Amino acid sequence: MVGNNVRRRLAGLVSAGAAGVLLAGCTVNVPDPAAPKPSPSVSTLATPTITPGHDAAAVAAKDLPLAAGGTLAPGEPVTVSTRLEEVPGWSVVHSALQGETRYKKTDGCMLAVRVSVNQGPLVVAGDDVASTKELFHYLDAGVAVDSLKTASLRWGEDSDTPQHSVEFLSLESSSASGAQSAVVLARLFSAPASSVYVSLACPDDKSLAPARAEIMAQLVVVPPS
């Protein structure tokens, strides 16, 4: 599924095949013209700057459910740290290319990660669930946002030792149903008005399961500091 330039700035992180899986069954190729359009943003996996008066260590020291998004500092984005290239079979396709970092695995799995800022037009103030549903709807109006499920990624400041989790909303598809095996996790953090979007697509369900486990072990979502 191919979107327009605005859509690619926000979600351009999967191959054409994986993008089609994300919203399988969708017949809408461009967002609703009436939908708010976030400002063009530069995605980053870099370390955020320091926000005075914000205790990032305290935020990182506990889980961040969807209901707790208000504990984040405004302005500075949530970021992502990963060492997936250190796992046998995985390699970097490109890093920070037009806002996208992409990995491939020798068995055909593909992972893409994007951190986007300036998402204010999609934010529902103080509500990360509603904000994230707005993000999914913006990416494709055909998504049944009320059917999205919760999923978690690792959460903390140190990629070696975080023991906590951050909740996302997710959309999955299975090769058993005739679609490509894929999972997409996204969250629009309402306080900093930034989003994290992760897409994994594999040739089949058998290869998806271990790839997902490796990503869960190596990908860490980092709070604003």
Give the 3-state secondary structure of residue 65: coil
pLDDT at 209: 96
Residues 47, 190: Cα–Cα separation, whole Å:
19
pLDDT at 155: 92
pLDDT at 109: 98
pLDDT at 56: 66
Residues 222, 184: Cα–Cα separation, whole Å:
18
pTM of the model: 0.77
- Quick one: which of 104, 73, 74 has its CA closest to 90? 104
Q: Are 123 and 221 in contact (CB under 8 A)?
A: no
- Quick one: which of 80, 35, 66, 211 has its CA closest to 149? 66
Residues 204, 24: Cα–Cα separation, whole Å:
15
- Consecutive 10-residue averages of pLDDT for the chain (225 residues): 38 36 33 45 44 64 92 88 94 84 97 94 96 94 93 80 86 88 96 95 96 94 85
pLDDT at 2: 33
pLDDT at 49: 46
Residues 14, 200: Cα–Cα separation, whole Å:
8
pLDDT at 166: 96
User: The dihedral of CA 29, 110, 83, 70: what is its sign?
Assistant: positive
